[in-house]
A = this chain, B = another copy of it.
Protein backbone atom coordinates (compact mmCIF):
# COMPACT_ATOMS: atom_id res chain seq x y z
CA UNK A 1 0.00 0.00 0.00
CA UNK A 2 1.66 3.24 -1.06
CA UNK A 3 0.53 6.85 -0.91
CA UNK A 4 -1.15 6.76 -4.30
CA UNK A 5 -3.52 4.01 -3.13
CA UNK A 6 -4.34 5.57 0.21
CA UNK A 7 -4.71 9.11 -1.21
CA UNK A 8 -4.16 12.48 0.41
CA UNK A 9 -7.40 12.63 2.39
CA UNK A 10 -6.97 9.03 3.55
CA UNK A 11 -3.51 10.00 4.71
CA UNK A 12 -4.73 13.02 6.65
CA UNK A 13 -7.46 10.93 8.28
CA UNK A 14 -4.91 8.33 9.32
CA UNK A 15 -2.59 10.99 10.78
CA UNK A 16 -5.48 12.73 12.54
CA UNK A 17 -6.52 9.47 14.16
CA UNK A 18 -3.01 8.77 15.44
CA UNK A 19 -2.60 12.18 17.10
CA UNK A 20 -3.98 13.05 20.53
CA UNK A 21 -4.17 16.64 21.73
CA UNK A 22 -4.70 18.42 25.04
CA UNK A 23 -7.55 20.68 26.11
CA UNK A 24 -5.80 23.89 24.99
CA UNK A 25 -6.25 22.78 21.37
CA UNK A 26 -9.60 24.14 20.16
CA UNK A 27 -9.17 22.75 16.63
CA UNK A 28 -6.32 20.45 15.60
CA UNK A 29 -5.69 18.80 12.24
CA UNK A 30 -8.47 19.32 9.68
CA UNK A 31 -9.05 23.03 9.09
CA UNK A 32 -7.01 25.73 7.34
CA UNK A 33 -5.25 26.53 10.63
CA UNK A 34 -4.92 24.96 14.04
CA UNK A 35 -6.73 26.95 16.73
CA UNK A 36 -5.28 27.02 20.24
CA UNK A 37 -6.05 28.89 23.47
CA UNK A 38 -4.45 32.32 23.78
CA UNK A 39 -6.28 34.90 25.91
CA UNK A 40 -9.73 35.66 27.25
CA UNK A 41 -10.83 37.19 23.97
CA UNK A 42 -8.48 35.71 21.35
CA UNK A 43 -7.31 32.42 19.91
CA UNK A 44 -3.90 31.77 18.40
CA UNK A 45 -3.83 30.35 14.84
CA UNK A 46 -1.03 28.14 13.52
CA UNK A 47 -0.50 27.04 9.93
CA UNK A 48 2.23 25.91 7.56
CA UNK A 49 2.53 25.48 3.80
CA UNK A 50 5.24 23.61 1.98
CA UNK A 51 5.97 24.65 -1.62
CA UNK A 52 8.16 22.44 -3.76
CA UNK A 53 9.83 23.07 -7.12
CA UNK A 54 7.96 21.42 -10.02
CA UNK A 55 4.84 20.95 -7.87
CA UNK A 56 3.95 24.47 -6.72
CA UNK A 57 6.20 26.50 -8.99
CA UNK A 58 8.81 26.09 -11.70
CA UNK A 59 12.42 27.03 -11.06
CA UNK A 60 12.17 29.36 -14.08
CA UNK A 61 9.31 31.32 -12.49
CA UNK A 62 10.22 34.72 -11.09
CA UNK A 63 11.93 34.23 -7.72
CA UNK A 64 10.18 37.36 -6.44
CA UNK A 65 6.77 35.79 -7.11
CA UNK A 66 7.84 32.38 -5.77
CA UNK A 67 8.67 34.16 -2.50
CA UNK A 68 5.41 36.09 -2.67
CA UNK A 69 3.35 32.94 -3.20
CA UNK A 70 5.03 30.99 -0.41
CA UNK A 71 4.02 33.64 2.14
CA UNK A 72 0.65 34.35 0.50
CA UNK A 73 -0.54 30.74 0.91
CA UNK A 74 -0.16 30.92 4.68
CA UNK A 75 -1.74 34.38 4.89
CA UNK A 76 -4.70 32.97 2.96
CA UNK A 77 -5.07 30.19 5.57
CA UNK A 78 -5.11 32.71 8.41
CA UNK A 79 -7.60 34.91 6.51
CA UNK A 80 -9.97 32.00 6.01
CA UNK A 81 -10.19 31.55 9.80
CA UNK A 82 -11.14 35.23 10.20
CA UNK A 83 -7.78 36.08 11.77
CA UNK A 84 -4.77 38.34 11.30
CA UNK A 85 -1.26 37.00 10.63
CA UNK A 86 1.58 38.14 12.89
CA UNK A 87 4.76 36.03 12.75
CA UNK A 88 6.33 33.80 10.12
CA UNK A 89 9.21 31.32 9.98
CA UNK A 90 10.82 30.47 6.65
CA UNK A 91 12.41 27.03 6.13
CA UNK A 92 14.39 26.75 2.94
CA UNK A 93 15.71 23.63 1.24
CA UNK A 94 18.16 24.96 -1.33
CA UNK A 95 19.82 23.28 -4.32
CA UNK A 96 23.59 23.79 -4.27
CA UNK A 97 23.73 25.67 -7.54
CA UNK A 98 21.05 28.25 -6.72
CA UNK A 99 22.34 31.79 -7.21
CA UNK A 100 22.55 34.33 -4.40
CA UNK A 101 20.60 36.72 -6.65
CA UNK A 102 17.74 34.25 -6.91
CA UNK A 103 17.57 33.99 -3.15
CA UNK A 104 17.74 37.77 -2.69
CA UNK A 105 14.80 38.16 -5.09
CA UNK A 106 12.88 35.40 -3.31
CA UNK A 107 13.30 37.26 -0.03
CA UNK A 108 12.29 40.53 -1.69
CA UNK A 109 8.99 38.87 -2.58
CA UNK A 110 8.55 37.54 0.95
CA UNK A 111 9.53 40.81 2.62
CA UNK A 112 7.32 43.01 0.46
CA UNK A 113 4.22 40.98 1.20
CA UNK A 114 5.15 40.67 4.88
CA UNK A 115 5.48 44.46 5.04
CA UNK A 116 2.10 44.99 3.42
CA UNK A 117 0.35 42.86 6.05
CA UNK A 118 2.58 43.80 9.03
CA UNK A 119 3.97 40.29 9.42
CA UNK A 120 7.31 39.78 11.19
CA UNK A 121 9.69 37.25 9.63
CA UNK A 122 11.25 36.05 12.87
CA UNK A 123 13.35 33.08 11.88
CA UNK A 124 13.77 29.98 9.81
CA UNK A 125 16.07 27.20 8.81
CA UNK A 126 18.31 26.52 5.82
CA UNK A 127 19.14 23.09 4.48
CA UNK A 128 20.57 21.60 1.32
CA UNK A 129 17.96 20.04 -0.98
CA UNK A 130 17.74 18.50 -4.41
CA UNK A 131 14.82 20.72 -5.39
CA UNK A 132 14.00 24.18 -4.03
CA UNK A 133 11.64 23.69 -1.07
CA UNK A 134 10.02 26.52 0.89
CA UNK A 135 8.02 25.81 4.02
CA UNK A 136 6.49 28.80 5.73
CA UNK A 137 4.84 28.47 9.10
CA UNK A 138 2.76 31.30 10.45
CA UNK A 139 1.31 32.43 13.75
CA UNK A 140 -1.80 34.58 13.74
CA UNK A 141 -4.51 35.67 16.12
CA UNK A 142 -8.28 35.87 15.89
CA UNK A 143 -10.91 37.35 18.18
CA UNK A 144 -12.97 34.43 19.50
CA UNK A 145 -16.18 35.97 18.15
CA UNK A 146 -14.66 36.21 14.63
CA UNK A 147 -13.36 32.63 14.31
CA UNK A 148 -14.72 30.96 11.15
CA UNK A 149 -14.34 27.18 10.93
CA UNK A 150 -15.23 24.82 8.09
CA UNK A 151 -17.66 22.99 10.33
CA UNK A 152 -20.37 25.54 11.01
CA UNK A 153 -22.35 25.88 7.75
CA UNK A 154 -26.12 25.83 8.41
CA UNK A 155 -28.97 24.60 6.21
CA UNK A 156 -30.29 27.50 4.08
CA UNK A 157 -27.05 29.46 4.39
CA UNK A 158 -26.11 31.33 1.24
CA UNK A 159 -22.75 30.31 -0.28
CA UNK A 160 -20.43 33.09 -1.47
CA UNK A 161 -17.05 33.34 -3.12
CA UNK A 162 -14.75 36.31 -3.53
CA UNK A 163 -13.41 37.37 -6.91
CA UNK A 164 -13.46 34.99 -9.85
CA UNK A 165 -12.28 31.46 -10.47
CA UNK A 166 -9.96 29.93 -13.04
CA UNK A 167 -7.16 32.50 -13.14
CA UNK A 168 -4.57 30.24 -11.51
CA UNK A 169 -3.25 28.69 -14.76
CA UNK A 170 -2.75 32.19 -16.18
CA UNK A 171 -0.09 32.99 -13.61
CA UNK A 172 -2.27 34.16 -10.76
CA UNK A 173 -1.39 31.09 -8.65
CA UNK A 174 1.92 32.94 -8.13
CA UNK A 175 0.85 36.57 -7.99
CA UNK A 176 -2.48 36.39 -6.14
CA UNK A 177 -3.08 38.75 -3.26
CA UNK A 178 -4.44 36.82 -0.26
CA UNK A 179 -7.97 37.94 0.66
CA UNK A 180 -7.05 39.12 4.13
CA UNK A 181 -8.69 42.54 3.87
CA UNK A 182 -11.85 40.97 2.43
CA UNK A 183 -12.01 38.29 5.14
CA UNK A 184 -11.59 40.79 7.93
CA UNK A 185 -14.27 43.04 6.44
CA UNK A 186 -16.61 40.03 6.51
CA UNK A 187 -16.02 38.90 10.07
CA UNK A 188 -16.01 42.45 11.43
CA UNK A 189 -19.32 43.35 9.78
CA UNK A 190 -21.32 40.14 9.26
CA UNK A 191 -21.98 36.86 11.00
CA UNK A 192 -20.07 34.38 8.82
CA UNK A 193 -20.92 30.75 9.61
CA UNK A 194 -18.21 28.85 7.72
CA UNK A 195 -15.18 29.86 5.66
CA UNK A 196 -12.32 28.22 3.76
CA UNK A 197 -9.88 29.39 1.11
CA UNK A 198 -10.11 27.80 -2.32
CA UNK A 199 -6.77 26.06 -2.61
CA UNK A 200 -7.90 22.67 -3.98
CA UNK A 201 -10.67 23.94 -6.29
CA UNK A 202 -14.21 25.17 -5.58
CA UNK A 203 -15.86 21.72 -5.66
CA UNK A 204 -13.24 20.14 -3.43
CA UNK A 205 -13.13 22.96 -0.92
CA UNK A 206 -16.91 23.26 -0.79
CA UNK A 207 -17.02 19.52 -0.13
CA UNK A 208 -14.61 20.08 2.81
CA UNK A 209 -17.15 22.50 4.31
CA UNK A 210 -20.03 20.11 3.60
CA UNK A 211 -18.21 17.15 5.13
CA UNK A 212 -17.12 19.02 8.26
CA UNK A 213 -20.57 20.61 8.66
CA UNK A 214 -22.56 17.47 7.65
CA UNK A 215 -24.48 19.40 4.98
CA UNK A 216 -25.28 19.31 1.28
CA UNK A 217 -25.36 22.18 -1.20
CA UNK A 218 -26.56 23.43 -4.56
CA UNK A 219 -24.41 25.79 -6.60
CA UNK A 220 -25.51 27.53 -9.79
CA UNK A 221 -23.21 27.51 -12.78
CA UNK A 222 -24.36 30.85 -14.17
CA UNK A 223 -23.68 32.64 -10.89
CA UNK A 224 -20.02 31.64 -10.66
CA UNK A 225 -17.74 34.40 -11.99
CA UNK A 226 -14.96 33.14 -14.22
CA UNK A 227 -11.67 34.80 -15.06
CA UNK A 228 -12.08 36.36 -18.51
CA UNK A 229 -9.41 34.22 -20.22
CA UNK A 230 -10.78 31.01 -18.68
CA UNK A 231 -13.30 29.30 -20.96
CA UNK A 232 -13.44 25.87 -19.33
CA UNK A 233 -16.03 25.98 -16.55
CA UNK A 234 -15.30 22.52 -15.17
CA UNK A 235 -11.58 23.24 -14.94
CA UNK A 236 -12.29 26.55 -13.22
CA UNK A 237 -14.26 24.87 -10.45
CA UNK A 238 -12.14 21.75 -10.05
CA UNK A 239 -8.56 23.06 -10.31
CA UNK A 240 -6.78 24.41 -7.27
CA UNK A 241 -4.89 27.55 -6.30
CA UNK A 242 -7.51 30.25 -6.83
CA UNK A 243 -6.98 31.32 -3.21
CA UNK A 244 -10.34 33.05 -3.19
CA UNK A 245 -12.55 32.83 -0.10
CA UNK A 246 -15.54 30.49 0.03
CA UNK A 247 -17.96 31.22 2.87
CA UNK A 248 -21.53 30.86 4.04
CA UNK A 249 -23.89 33.02 6.07
CA UNK A 250 -27.59 33.10 6.89
CA UNK A 251 -30.00 34.45 4.27
CA UNK A 252 -30.50 37.57 6.38
CA UNK A 253 -26.78 38.33 6.66
CA UNK A 254 -26.38 37.47 2.97
CA UNK A 255 -29.06 40.02 2.14
CA UNK A 256 -27.15 42.69 4.05
CA UNK A 257 -23.89 41.75 2.33
CA UNK A 258 -25.48 41.87 -1.14
CA UNK A 259 -27.16 45.17 -0.30
CA UNK A 260 -23.75 46.61 0.64
CA UNK A 261 -23.00 46.63 -3.08
CA UNK A 262 -19.51 45.21 -2.61
CA UNK A 263 -19.19 43.30 -5.86
CA UNK A 264 -16.13 41.33 -4.76
CA UNK A 265 -18.52 38.97 -2.89
CA UNK A 266 -20.76 36.83 -5.13
CA UNK A 267 -23.56 34.51 -3.99
CA UNK A 268 -23.25 31.21 -5.89
CA UNK A 269 -25.58 28.79 -4.10
CA UNK A 270 -27.15 27.51 -0.93
CA UNK A 271 -26.45 25.03 1.87
CA UNK A 272 -28.92 22.11 2.00
CA UNK A 273 -29.45 19.09 4.23
CA UNK A 274 -26.76 16.44 4.00
CA UNK A 275 -28.70 13.91 1.82
CA UNK A 276 -28.77 16.34 -1.08
CA UNK A 277 -25.04 15.87 -1.56
CA UNK A 278 -23.29 18.46 -3.70
CA UNK A 279 -25.35 19.55 -6.72
CA UNK A 280 -24.31 21.71 -9.62
CA UNK A 281 -27.18 23.36 -11.48
CA UNK A 282 -26.09 24.14 -15.01
CA UNK A 283 -27.12 26.74 -17.55
CA UNK A 284 -30.01 24.62 -18.78
CA UNK A 285 -31.43 24.46 -15.23
CA UNK A 286 -30.49 20.81 -15.18
CA UNK A 287 -29.45 19.54 -11.81
CA UNK A 288 -26.49 17.18 -11.64
CA UNK A 289 -24.94 15.58 -8.62
CA UNK A 290 -21.20 16.17 -8.86
CA UNK A 291 -18.20 14.46 -7.39
CA UNK A 292 -15.88 16.83 -5.58
CA UNK A 293 -13.12 16.92 -8.15
CA UNK A 294 -10.03 18.82 -7.20
CA UNK A 295 -6.28 18.91 -6.96
CA UNK A 296 -4.76 15.69 -5.65
CA UNK A 297 -1.15 15.40 -4.64
CA UNK A 298 -1.07 11.62 -4.92
> Per-residue 0/1 for A21-32: is the Cβ within 8 Å of any B Cβ (1 yes, 0 no)?
110110011000
Protomer copies? 2
Q: Is the CB of B3 within 8 A of A103?
A: yes
Q: Is A287 an interface residue (CB 8 A)?
A: no
Q: Is the CB of A133 within 8 A of B2?
A: no
Q: Is the CB of A123 within 8 A of B52?
A: no
Chain B nearest CB, measured from A124 CB (Å): 6
A89 / chain B contacts, CB cutoff of 8 Å: 34, 46-48, 137
Q: Is A139 an interface residue (CB 8 A)?
A: yes
* Stretch binding the partner chain, chosen from A5-13, A142-150, A185-193: A5-13
Q: Is the CB of A1 within 8 A of B100?
A: yes
Q: Is A14 an interface residue (CB 8 A)?
A: yes
A22 / chain B contacts, CB cutoff of 8 Å: 118, 120
Question: Of residues A107, A118, A135, which shows the largest number of chain B Cβ atoms within 10 Å of its Cβ?
Answer: A135
Q: Is the CB of A3 within 8 A of B94?
A: yes
Q: Is the CB of A126 within 8 A of B11?
A: yes
A129, B127: Cα distance in complex, Å = 15
Q: Count contacts on A: residues with CB < 8 A to the other chain.
A: 72
Q: Is A262 an interface residue (CB 8 A)?
A: no
Q: Is the CB of A50 within 8 A of B91?
A: yes
Q: Is the CB of A120 within 8 A of B87?
A: no
A99 / chain B contacts, CB cutoff of 8 Å: 1-3
Q: Is the CB of A19 within 8 A of B135?
A: no
A137, B121: Cα distance in complex, Å = 14
A115, B123: Cα distance in complex, Å = 26
Q: Is A58 an interface residue (CB 8 A)?
A: no
Q: Is A92 an interface residue (CB 8 A)?
A: yes
A87, B29: Cα distance in complex, Å = 12
Q: Is A101 an interface residue (CB 8 A)?
A: yes
From 247 to 298 in chain A, residues with beta carbon under 8 angstroms from any chain B beta carbon are: 297-298
Q: Is the CB of A91 within 8 A of B48?
A: yes
State which of B87, B96, B108 has its C-beta within 8 Å of the C-beta of A46: B87
A121, B17: Cα distance in complex, Å = 12
> Per-residue 0/1 for A192-227: is the Cβ within 8 Å of any B Cβ (1 yes, 0 no)?
000000000000000000000000000000000000
Answer whether A130 and B128 are a contact pair too, CB < 8 Å, given A1-B99, A93-B50, A104-B18. no
Chain B nearest CB, measured from A117 CB (Å): 12
Residue of chain B at shortest CB distance from A12: B126
Q: Is A51 an interface residue (CB 8 A)?
A: yes
Q: Is A116 an interface residue (CB 8 A)?
A: no
Residue of chain B at shortest CB distance from A107: B18
Q: Is the CB of A133 within 8 A of B93?
A: yes
Answer whether A96 and B2 are a contact pair too, CB < 8 Å, given A56-B127, A135-B135. yes
Sorted nearest first, the 5 A-B pairs with minimum C-beta distance are A34-B122, A137-B137, A34-B123, A135-B135, A50-B91
